Chain A
Amino acid sequence: MMDSYQETVFKLKKYWSDRGCIIQEPYDMEVGAGTMCPETFLRVLGPNPYRVAYIQPSRRPADGRYGDNPNRLYKHQQLQVILKPSPDDVVDQYLGSLQAIGIDLSKHDIKFEEDNWESPTLGAWGIGWQVMLDGLEITQFTYFQQCGGVDLDLVPAELTYGMERLVAFLQNRESVYDIQWAPGFTYRDVRYADELQNSVYNFEMADVPTLWSLLDLHEKEAQRLLDLFPDTPDKKRFPLLAAYDHVLKCSNLFNLLDARGAISVTERVGVIARVRKLAVGVAQSWLAQEAA
């Protein structure tokens, strides 16, 4: 009996819940990857252990294909797991999660191929692998080393499962749109309109000057807050999380402008540096807030 998409999600959540993870809900803003959610970006900082797992719909405007391409999506679903600090048997635990969703490892080929993750906009990087299952990349496995330009006290393991690929594999589907999401509903039923309409918007209709001014506005607001933080006496109640939301807005607007072809290669470096400056600012202030 084949599991539906949601059944597989349930199983993975249960598996990680059984291993001490908080099961969070997706962050309620547009992000490019599960890593950008505060549950990862901020929680990996500092000396406090943390374990969390959540599904995060992740937007990559440039990857949109109007719902035509069987494997490429504007918005894909990641299952993000953070184990901080990483347990010694983290690889075994990870392999156990594959067994838990019905992959009989004795019948498959698993390889760990070098793939070091880096996000210039977040000032974050880590060392790790892409995990290949019968030649298919199903998970990005990263030992975080730095986030927001800060060396991490405890090294977290980040497991990012590409859910569509994984489930297409489990259900033996050629196209992600043919995945059964729930009994009686395919992935296409649930998501096609989202892919089509947002591809149209991202590639054809997004108003470039508007996007630029939105970027400027969010940047200004984030920076305004960051500038106020050092002189704020009561650090604990300072809205750094709100400042970070504006950073996330900037990041998504950058991706939209990029997809729209509005950013030249030279400008690109500059805009990345702007967003990075904000992200690093939030990370450092957040550490100060935690310590306060």
Chain B
Amino acid sequence: MAARRRLPFLLEIGSEEIPAWMIPPALEQLRGLFEELLSVHRLGGRVTSVDATPRRLVLTAEKIAARQADTEELVTGPPAAAGEAAAAGFARKLGVEVSQLEKIPTPKGEYLGIRKKIPGRAALDILSAELPSLVLNINWPKTMYWTGKGGPRFIRPIRWIVALLGPDVVPFEIAGVASGNLTRGHRQLGKPALRVSIRNYAQKLRANGVIVSAAERRRKIESEIPVRVKPDPELLDTLVYLTEFPTPITGSFDEQFLALPAEVLVTVMRHHQKYFSVEREDGSLSPQFVAVMNTSADPEGLVRQGNERVLRARFNDARFFWDVDQRLKLADRLELLAHVTFQAQLGSYKDKTERVVRLVRELGGSEHAVRAAMLAKCDLTCEMVKEFTELQGVVGGLYARAQGEPEEVALAIYDHYKPVSMEDSIPRTREGQIVSLADKIDTLRGCFSLGLIPSGSRDPFALRRAAQGVVKILVEGGHSTPLSWLAGGDAALREFFLDRVSYYFREIRGFRYDEVNAVLKAGCEDLVDVERRLTAIHEVRPTENFEPLAASFKRIANILRQAGFTGGGPVDAALLEPGPEAALYEHFQRVRAEVASSSDPLGALKAIAALRPSVDLFFDKVLVNAPDEALRRNRLALLSSLLTEFSAIADFSEIATG
């Protein structure tokens, strides 16, 4: 047989415009599903690329076997000793001659059997059969049907399919669309039907206004922006997948709009118009924007003018909102909050505000913090926030400043929703941190008291984010507020916080899970202290004595458990045997004194780690389970005090060793 043929493969799923944010995860799935298909069906080969534009998902692969390798199947029949009749019956059943049967040795003796050769299937057939369900198995956040009730579901209607294995079309159908070798060019720049081969696919599309490579579209956008824009990777991602042929253009707006706060201008440009904002050298806004078109050029400036007109209207609206909102000061809006529901059973935002103010006082907030807490939610009644909800808090802060509130108050209001994500920073000022803490704690306590506890992916009140924010503020803001106070006596909420604490230190700060467990087990009331102990453990961990000592502590914990030792009575120095036992005791006393006089957990840990040789020698030479009961108890007491004495920093038995 000739060398096995290996073929390249191309799949293009042509669709109506797919939401930009859904594309990258869908491509990863497509890759995974196809790799699985290749492996399950023993076709070899590898995926060389997955790529997409809003209208097409594209996968290429190479070196796919044109045909699966043949396989053998062993069919066993009666025992070899069963006689000729049985052999003939078996052969007849399989439609073979008795002479073709062979004797197969098995653990139970020799059996008659035959090796049946199963010819491999053609890749073309396998792909034809498998690709429709593969495509429809891509998991989208929200799907639709379009051919009628009960029809296939996809993210948007599938309109064409290109599927080529080498020179051949892989024939199949999805939702009434037959695969072929016809693709479509850009809606305005290309031909509606293009015959392609694997080799000329990308290049033919390129000639028809489609850049298939997302990376290339990204480079095109980045390299063609002629001005200094505010870096915005998220927006760039969106634009890459919102266009088939991106071309940036620069527009401008009237300088008078720069009198509006930059936050408002940027929000309008970014969220509502998907424009980059343009910065001057000093970082301030320049009255310009960069829009990214999905076409090649704007020779008459029509697109630029159109975008400028839209932006002008939006900025005019924003200015109108600003002016209208100034007619009623934030402080005078407090009463209006009585009409804005926070949560049916938890009352209005006015009720919430009163609770938050109380919490701010309990947290020891300054008068500025109290004032900020009082005004923090008032911007919810403002036109600007109704229009640009993402600016809640920010608008309140800007209005507070414009209305002559102290800067501390304005900043605290401005920041009090922070951190909105784990990457986001905490409020800049102490007042802001306290208002933010109080606001989040109120939400958490209230929802938990009503049993509104997040489960799985259901978290409608974003309580995880709130608790995560609390943890981040406590640690990074250096607040030693006790965890049990935060939880307000609610055991479930305390557990919830602990989960978030553990998550924060592991996922955000990169501590190892066992370090986190060890430290939290030794105490978790004060997160500032937790962080200090964790840092110390992390630092001392790579030193030579630490892990062996941790192993010894684990051993001690085991010995005590096995001995059923609970009494932590004092060690009787008189009963100590001279040598390793007395030496350990003496060393322990020294370290204890050192640890007690040190406020630095790192120094303490280093001293504790230095105990290792003494502990090792003790275990080497001394029999804990001494026949003499008094000796035995004293030794257990020594070990027990070793363990408890140092467990204020961490429970070393949690440290994974070896």
Chain A residues engaging chain B, CB cutoff 8 angstroms: 69-72, 85-86, 88, 91-92, 95, 105-114, 116, 126-127, 129, 133-136, 143, 145, 151-155, 169, 172, 174, 261, 264-266
Q: Which residue of A lies closest to B148 (CB)?
A: A154
Given A85-B148, A143-B144, are A70 and B313 also a contact pair (CB < 8 Å)?
yes
Is B222 interfacial (CB 8 A cutoff)?
no
Chain B residues engaging chain A, CB cutoff 8 angstroms: 16-17, 19-21, 54, 142, 144-149, 156-157, 159, 187-188, 192, 242-243, 273, 275, 291, 293-295, 298-300, 302-303, 305-307, 309-313, 316-317, 320, 339-341, 344
Given A112-B17, A127-B156, A135-B306, are A70 and B295 also a contact pair (CB < 8 Å)?
no
The list of the 4 closest CB pairs from A to B, nearest first, reads: A134-B306, A114-B19, A112-B17, A265-B341
- The interface residues of chain B lying within 8 Å CB-to-CB of A143 are 144, 146, 157
Nearest-CB distance from B57 to chain A (Å)? Answer: 16
Inter-chain contact B149/A152, CB cutoff 8 Å: yes
Inter-chain contact A108/B306, CB cutoff 8 Å: yes
Nearest-CB distance from A141 to chain B (Å)? Answer: 9
- The interface residues of chain B lying within 8 Å CB-to-CB of A111 are 17, 242-243, 294
CA distance A221 to B249 in the complex (A): 57
Nearest-CB distance from A113 to chain B (Å)? Answer: 7
Nearest-CB distance from A104 to chain B (Å)? Answer: 9
Inter-chain contact B17/A109, CB cutoff 8 Å: no
- The interface residues of chain B lying within 8 Å CB-to-CB of A108 are 295, 302-303, 306
Given A105-B188, A112-B16, A127-B156, are A133 and B313 also a contact pair (CB < 8 Å)?
no
Given A135-B273, A264-B341, are A169 and B16 also a contact pair (CB < 8 Å)?
no
CA distance A106 to B293 in the complex (A): 12
Inter-chain contact A133/B306, CB cutoff 8 Å: yes
- The interface residues of chain A lying within 8 Å CB-to-CB of B159 are 88
CA distance A100 to B82 in the complex (A): 86
- The interface residues of chain B lying within 8 Å CB-to-CB of A127 are 142, 144, 156
Inter-chain contact A155/B146, CB cutoff 8 Å: yes
- The interface residues of chain B lying within 8 Å CB-to-CB of A261 are 339
Given A109-B294, A116-B142, A127-B144, are A153 and B306 also a contact pair (CB < 8 Å)?
no
CA distance A86 to B144 in the complex (A): 13
- The interface residues of chain B lying within 8 Å CB-to-CB of A153 are 148-149
Inter-chain contact B310/A134, CB cutoff 8 Å: yes
Set B20, B157, B341: member contacting A114, Cβ < 8 A: B20
CA distance A86 to B145 in the complex (A): 11
CA distance A88 to B148 in the complex (A): 12
- The interface residues of chain A lying within 8 Å CB-to-CB of B142 are 116, 127
Inter-chain contact B145/A155, CB cutoff 8 Å: yes
Inter-chain contact A110/B307, CB cutoff 8 Å: no
Inter-chain contact A109/B146, CB cutoff 8 Å: no
A-B CB contact pairs (8 Å), 25 listed: A72-B317, A92-B192, A95-B187, A105-B187, A107-B300, A108-B295, A109-B291, A109-B294, A109-B295, A109-B298, A109-B303, A110-B187, A110-B295, A111-B294, A113-B242, A114-B21, A116-B142, A133-B306, A134-B306, A135-B307, A136-B309, A155-B145, A174-B309, A265-B340, A266-B341
Inter-chain contact B294/A266, CB cutoff 8 Å: no
